[in-house]
Structure 1
């Protein structure tokens, strides 16, 4: 997995460290596809909400 991490980081940049790949592997082994979809959808919704709040805050500060 270390070789894969090194190859991916060279080709795609940050975000593909050994540690990150280990987390992805653990996630894949822990959740079923259906559960994974729910977890990912929930996380995306949180990120979108945070982004919208940040954007709205920046507009009020201008």
Structure 2
């Protein structure tokens, strides 16, 4: 079963209970992972932002096509 975090309601939903037009994050394997969706998204965004800053500072490598 898949779990989804509904951004509008803050509720965890399943495939059976979620509205197909709802603004959701997922799917997740567990209810706990779905409950933590916003924190996980924030952590990943911060990590990607840091990786982008590091890339900008060092520039592309030869294998990046530059």
Q: Does the alignment reach a TM-score above 0.5? A: no
TM-score, normalised by the number of residues in structure 1: 0.44
Q: Which has the higher strand share?
A: 2
TM-score, normalised by the number of residues in structure 2: 0.42
